[in-house]
Chain A
Amino acid sequence: NAGVTQTPKFQVLKTGQSMTLQCAQDMNHEYMSWYRQDPGMGLRLIHYSVGAGITDQGEVPNGYNVSRSTTEDFPLRLLSAAPSQTSVYFCASSYLAGRDEQFFGPGTRLTVL
Protein backbone atom coordinates (compact mmCIF):
# COMPACT_ATOMS: atom_id res chain seq x y z
CA ASN A 1 0.00 0.00 0.00
CA ALA A 2 1.22 3.48 -0.87
CA GLY A 3 -0.94 4.97 1.91
CA VAL A 4 -1.75 8.66 1.37
CA THR A 5 0.06 10.33 -1.50
CA GLN A 6 0.21 14.03 -2.31
CA THR A 7 1.49 15.89 -5.33
CA PRO A 8 3.32 18.12 -5.85
CA LYS A 9 5.78 18.23 -2.94
CA PHE A 10 6.66 21.87 -3.59
CA GLN A 11 4.92 24.62 -5.54
CA VAL A 12 5.48 28.32 -6.09
CA LEU A 13 2.58 30.41 -7.38
CA LYS A 14 2.05 34.03 -8.19
CA THR A 15 -0.83 35.93 -6.61
CA GLY A 16 -4.03 35.27 -8.52
CA GLN A 17 -2.98 31.97 -10.05
CA SER A 18 -5.04 28.85 -9.48
CA MET A 19 -3.89 25.33 -8.91
CA THR A 20 -4.97 21.92 -7.62
CA LEU A 21 -3.22 19.95 -4.91
CA GLN A 22 -3.70 16.25 -5.47
CA CYS A 23 -4.39 13.70 -2.74
CA ALA A 24 -5.02 9.98 -3.14
CA GLN A 25 -5.30 7.04 -0.77
CA ASP A 26 -5.38 3.32 -1.44
CA MET A 27 -6.75 2.13 1.90
CA ASN A 28 -10.46 2.38 0.98
CA HIS A 29 -10.98 5.03 3.64
CA GLU A 30 -14.29 6.87 3.70
CA TYR A 31 -13.08 9.94 5.58
CA MET A 32 -10.61 12.35 3.99
CA SER A 33 -9.53 15.81 5.02
CA TRP A 34 -7.24 18.70 4.17
CA TYR A 35 -5.27 20.69 6.73
CA ARG A 36 -2.91 23.60 6.53
CA GLN A 37 0.03 23.92 8.91
CA ASP A 38 1.40 27.31 9.83
CA PRO A 39 4.10 28.07 12.44
CA GLY A 40 2.65 28.38 15.93
CA MET A 41 -0.87 27.52 14.79
CA GLY A 42 -0.83 23.74 14.60
CA LEU A 43 -2.95 22.13 11.90
CA ARG A 44 -6.22 23.72 10.89
CA LEU A 45 -8.95 21.89 9.00
CA ILE A 46 -9.80 23.33 5.58
CA HIS A 47 -12.35 20.87 4.14
CA TYR A 48 -13.32 17.30 4.80
CA SER A 49 -15.33 14.50 3.21
CA VAL A 50 -17.16 11.58 4.82
CA GLY A 51 -17.52 9.70 1.54
CA ALA A 52 -17.70 10.04 -2.23
CA GLY A 53 -19.96 12.92 -3.22
CA ILE A 54 -20.05 14.43 0.28
CA THR A 55 -17.88 17.34 1.38
CA ASP A 56 -18.09 19.98 4.08
CA GLN A 57 -16.20 23.00 5.34
CA GLY A 58 -13.71 22.98 8.15
CA GLU A 59 -12.27 25.82 10.17
CA VAL A 60 -10.57 27.79 7.36
CA PRO A 61 -12.37 27.04 4.05
CA ASN A 62 -12.23 30.45 2.36
CA GLY A 63 -10.28 30.49 -0.89
CA TYR A 64 -10.35 26.71 -1.26
CA ASN A 65 -12.61 24.30 -3.07
CA VAL A 66 -12.86 20.50 -2.91
CA SER A 67 -14.75 17.68 -4.55
CA ARG A 68 -14.88 13.93 -3.93
CA SER A 69 -15.91 12.02 -7.02
CA THR A 70 -14.23 8.76 -5.96
CA THR A 71 -13.34 7.15 -2.65
CA GLU A 72 -9.64 7.35 -3.49
CA ASP A 73 -9.16 10.99 -4.54
CA PHE A 74 -9.72 14.28 -2.76
CA PRO A 75 -8.19 17.22 -4.63
CA LEU A 76 -7.90 20.69 -3.11
CA ARG A 77 -8.28 23.67 -5.44
CA LEU A 78 -6.94 27.13 -4.82
CA LEU A 79 -9.18 29.41 -6.81
CA SER A 80 -7.07 32.60 -6.81
CA ALA A 81 -3.91 32.23 -4.76
CA ALA A 82 -3.04 34.84 -2.15
CA PRO A 83 0.15 35.26 -0.08
CA SER A 84 -1.89 34.32 3.02
CA GLN A 85 -2.22 30.83 1.54
CA THR A 86 1.52 30.25 1.79
CA SER A 87 1.61 27.18 4.00
CA VAL A 88 2.25 23.46 4.20
CA TYR A 89 -0.80 21.44 3.21
CA PHE A 90 -1.53 17.96 4.50
CA CYS A 91 -4.09 15.49 3.30
CA ALA A 92 -5.28 12.77 5.69
CA SER A 93 -7.63 9.81 5.60
CA SER A 94 -9.25 7.35 8.00
CA TYR A 95 -11.88 4.62 7.95
CA LEU A 96 -14.34 6.78 9.80
CA ALA A 97 -14.34 10.12 11.56
CA GLY A 98 -14.03 10.33 15.30
CA ARG A 99 -12.12 7.52 16.97
CA ASP A 100 -10.07 6.23 14.04
CA GLU A 101 -6.45 7.11 13.42
CA GLN A 102 -5.92 9.55 10.58
CA PHE A 103 -3.14 8.70 8.14
CA PHE A 104 -1.29 11.69 6.78
CA GLY A 105 0.38 12.33 3.47
CA PRO A 106 3.90 13.80 3.25
CA GLY A 107 2.62 17.33 2.62
CA THR A 108 2.82 20.00 -0.08
CA ARG A 109 4.83 23.14 0.65
CA LEU A 110 3.16 26.04 -1.16
CA THR A 111 4.60 29.52 -1.56
CA VAL A 112 2.50 32.33 -3.02
CA LEU A 113 4.45 35.37 -4.16
Chain B
Amino acid sequence: EPEVTQTPSHQVTQMGQEVILRCVPISNHLYFYWYRQILGQKVEFLVSFYNNEISEKSEIFDDQFSVERPDGSNFTLKIRSTKLEDSAMYFCASSLSGGEWDTQYFGPGTRLTVL
Protein backbone atom coordinates (compact mmCIF):
# COMPACT_ATOMS: atom_id res chain seq x y z
CA GLU B 1 0.00 0.00 0.00
CA PRO B 2 1.41 3.42 -0.94
CA GLU B 3 2.51 5.54 1.98
CA VAL B 4 4.00 8.89 2.81
CA THR B 5 7.61 8.70 3.96
CA GLN B 6 9.63 11.27 5.87
CA THR B 7 13.31 11.74 6.58
CA PRO B 8 15.04 12.02 8.92
CA SER B 9 13.05 10.40 11.69
CA HIS B 10 14.86 12.55 14.25
CA GLN B 11 16.77 15.77 13.71
CA VAL B 12 18.74 17.54 16.39
CA THR B 13 19.94 21.05 15.69
CA GLN B 14 21.29 24.12 17.43
CA MET B 15 19.16 27.19 17.83
CA GLY B 16 19.62 29.53 14.87
CA GLN B 17 20.53 26.78 12.44
CA GLU B 18 18.60 25.98 9.29
CA VAL B 19 16.89 22.63 8.96
CA ILE B 20 15.22 20.93 6.04
CA LEU B 21 12.67 18.23 6.65
CA ARG B 22 11.94 15.94 3.76
CA CYS B 23 8.84 14.10 2.67
CA VAL B 24 7.97 11.81 -0.20
CA PRO B 25 4.21 12.00 -0.72
CA ILE B 26 2.14 9.25 -2.28
CA SER B 27 3.10 9.23 -5.92
CA ASN B 28 -0.12 10.26 -7.65
CA HIS B 29 -1.17 12.79 -5.04
CA LEU B 30 -1.33 16.45 -5.94
CA TYR B 31 -1.90 18.21 -2.60
CA PHE B 32 0.72 18.31 0.10
CA TYR B 33 0.62 19.46 3.69
CA TRP B 34 2.76 20.03 6.74
CA TYR B 35 1.47 19.77 10.28
CA ARG B 36 3.29 19.90 13.56
CA GLN B 37 2.68 18.64 17.07
CA ILE B 38 4.47 20.09 20.05
CA LEU B 39 4.89 17.48 22.79
CA GLY B 40 1.64 17.02 24.67
CA GLN B 41 -0.31 19.38 22.42
CA LYS B 42 -2.66 19.08 19.47
CA VAL B 43 -1.70 18.45 15.89
CA GLU B 44 -1.61 21.84 14.17
CA PHE B 45 -1.86 22.70 10.50
CA LEU B 46 1.06 24.64 9.04
CA VAL B 47 0.68 24.84 5.27
CA SER B 48 -0.89 23.30 2.21
CA PHE B 49 0.71 23.24 -1.22
CA TYR B 50 -0.66 22.61 -4.66
CA ASN B 51 0.60 23.23 -8.17
CA ASN B 52 3.89 24.59 -6.84
CA GLU B 53 2.20 27.21 -4.75
CA ILE B 54 1.13 27.60 -1.16
CA SER B 55 -2.64 27.34 -1.14
CA GLU B 56 -3.14 28.00 2.55
CA LYS B 57 -0.98 28.67 5.59
CA SER B 58 -1.55 29.14 9.28
CA GLU B 59 -0.32 31.90 11.55
CA ILE B 60 2.45 29.59 12.69
CA PHE B 61 3.89 29.49 9.18
CA ASP B 62 5.79 32.76 9.29
CA ASP B 63 8.74 34.01 7.25
CA GLN B 64 11.05 31.52 8.93
CA PHE B 65 9.26 28.67 7.19
CA SER B 66 9.24 27.77 3.54
CA VAL B 67 8.12 24.80 1.49
CA GLU B 68 9.30 23.50 -1.82
CA ARG B 69 8.76 20.66 -4.23
CA PRO B 70 12.26 20.53 -5.69
CA ASP B 71 11.57 17.59 -7.97
CA GLY B 72 8.74 15.28 -8.90
CA SER B 73 8.85 13.28 -5.71
CA ASN B 74 10.07 15.28 -2.72
CA PHE B 75 8.29 17.90 -0.66
CA THR B 76 10.38 19.83 1.84
CA LEU B 77 9.85 22.10 4.81
CA LYS B 78 12.66 24.49 5.61
CA ILE B 79 13.04 26.38 8.84
CA ARG B 80 15.58 29.14 8.28
CA SER B 81 16.66 29.96 11.79
CA THR B 82 15.36 27.48 14.31
CA LYS B 83 14.08 28.51 17.72
CA LEU B 84 13.66 26.43 20.83
CA GLU B 85 9.91 26.55 20.36
CA ASP B 86 10.21 24.88 16.96
CA SER B 87 10.93 21.62 18.76
CA ALA B 88 8.07 19.35 17.75
CA MET B 89 7.00 16.41 15.62
CA TYR B 90 6.51 17.50 12.02
CA PHE B 91 4.11 15.50 9.90
CA CYS B 92 3.82 15.59 6.16
CA ALA B 93 0.56 14.57 4.51
CA SER B 94 -0.73 14.24 0.98
CA SER B 95 -4.04 13.85 -0.78
CA LEU B 96 -5.14 13.20 -4.32
CA SER B 97 -7.33 16.28 -4.42
CA GLY B 98 -7.95 19.13 -2.03
CA GLY B 99 -11.64 18.50 -1.56
CA GLU B 100 -13.20 17.88 1.82
CA TRP B 101 -14.33 14.47 0.54
CA ASP B 102 -10.74 13.40 -0.01
CA THR B 103 -8.50 11.78 2.55
CA GLN B 104 -5.17 13.13 3.71
CA TYR B 105 -2.59 10.46 4.45
CA PHE B 106 0.11 11.22 6.96
CA GLY B 107 3.73 10.21 7.17
CA PRO B 108 5.40 8.89 10.33
CA GLY B 109 6.84 12.28 11.24
CA THR B 110 10.19 13.88 11.94
CA ARG B 111 11.02 14.70 15.52
CA LEU B 112 12.85 18.03 15.55
CA THR B 113 14.80 18.90 18.66
CA VAL B 114 16.26 22.39 18.87
CA LEU B 115 18.93 22.86 21.54
- A interacts with B: no
Give A contacts to B, CB under 8 Å: none
Give B contacts to A, CB under 8 Å: none
